[in-house]
Amino acid sequence: MAARTLAALTAAALAVALSAFAAPSASAAPECSDIEVIFARGTDEAPGIGKVGKAFVDTLKPMVKGKSVSTYAVKYPATWDFMKAAIGANDMSKRVQTIAAQCPKTKIVLGGYSQGAAVVDVVATAPIAGLGYTAPLPAALAPRITSIVVFGNPSARIGNPLTRMSMVYGARTADLCAPADPVCSLGRDWDSHVRYQESGLVKLGAEWAAKLIKAADQKPAAPKSDAAQGTSATSTR
């Protein structure tokens, strides 16, 4: 009798332990907000959306009053090993795919700062896998991304801002570079790279995102490129 009782208790304990590793239930699905900002932080910032990402979201919210805004912090090392940016690109792409599948009405805004901007570059310009990027964004999901806003984008330094690199998303992108920021321009003012929250460019980026969100509310199709390009070009003001 004691042996049977011990066996039953052991089985119950094992079942409880295994339940911790069970597949997530339906309740684990993301809550669907009106807008989700998927943001990749900069090099050496603590996990999360980073200071620039927080400033961007905090500035955007009052501009889209009446709409719920959620955030997703892209998961990647953000270390000085820049090749690992592909990890972030995979995570960002997978998050877009998850939201697109589970939240059909949610408008998606992609954002990134510094190395995080490079993460966005990969997602927006690489239609096939390569160099550690294993989860390309399906072309069919492009309309779900309402806008892209990046700050201090390294590719802009060599004359390839995302507005130019991406034929699909360029017209929906604000690629913003602070004056003399050596990461995204030929300038030499390193302080400008860490002062985006104070530069006025965060507000400009939020205004850009809010404008395209409102346009998407009024018209399902993406805004015309000729109207968008004037604002989305790399800013140096």
pLDDT in tens, 120-178: 999 999 888 988 899 999 999 999 999 999 999 999 999 989 999 998 999 999 999 99
Give residue 18's pLDDT.
27
1 inside domain: no
The active-site residue, picked from 121, 185, 192, 193, is 193
- 75: closest CA among 103, 31, 45? 45
Give residue 29's pLDDT.
63
Q: Is 114 a catalytic residue?
A: yes
d(CA 150, CA 206): 11
13 inside domain: no
Give residue 234's pLDDT.
44
Give mean pLDDT, residues 21-29: 37
The active-site residue, picked from 91, 93, 114, 147, is 114
Written in H, E and C, the secondary structure of 1-42 is: CHHHHHHHHHHHHHHHHHHCCCCCCHHHCCCCCCEEEEEECC
| H helix runs in 103-236, sequence order | 115-125, 154-157, 162-165, 190-193, 196-199, 201-218, 225-232
Give residue 225's pLDDT.
35
10 inside domain: no
CA 93 and chain centroid, separation: 9
Give mean pLDDT, residues 194-209: 96
d(CA 159, CA 208): 22
Give residue 102's pLDDT.
97
d(CA 33, CA 30): 9
66 inside domain: yes
Tell me 223's DSSP state.
P
Structure token pair of residue 52: 């620039």
Across 27-31, 113-117, 129-133, 233-237, the highest mean pLDDT is recorded for 113-117
17 inside domain: no
Give residue 224's pLDDT.
40
Q: For residue 70, give the CATH number of its domain.
A: 3.40.50.1820
> How many domains does the chain divide into?
1
Helical packing angle, 201-218 and 50-60, nearest 10°:
50
Give pLDDT tens digits for 6-22. 333 233 332 323 233 23
Instruction: Name the residue range of residue 181's domain.
Output: 31-232
- 224: closest CA among 235, 211, 237? 211
25 inside domain: no
Written in H, E and C, the secondary structure of 133-150 is: ECCCCCHHHHHHEEEEEE
The active-site residue, picked from 93, 175, 181, 199, is 181
Give pLDDT tens digits for 34-71. 999 999 999 999 999 999 999 999 999 999 999 999 99
d(CA 189, CA 99): 38
Give residue 30's pLDDT.
73
80 inside domain: yes
What percent of the chain is modeled with pLDDT above 70? 80
Element (H, E) at 109: strand 107-113
Cβ(189)–Cβ(179) below 8 Å: yes
pTM of structure: 0.81
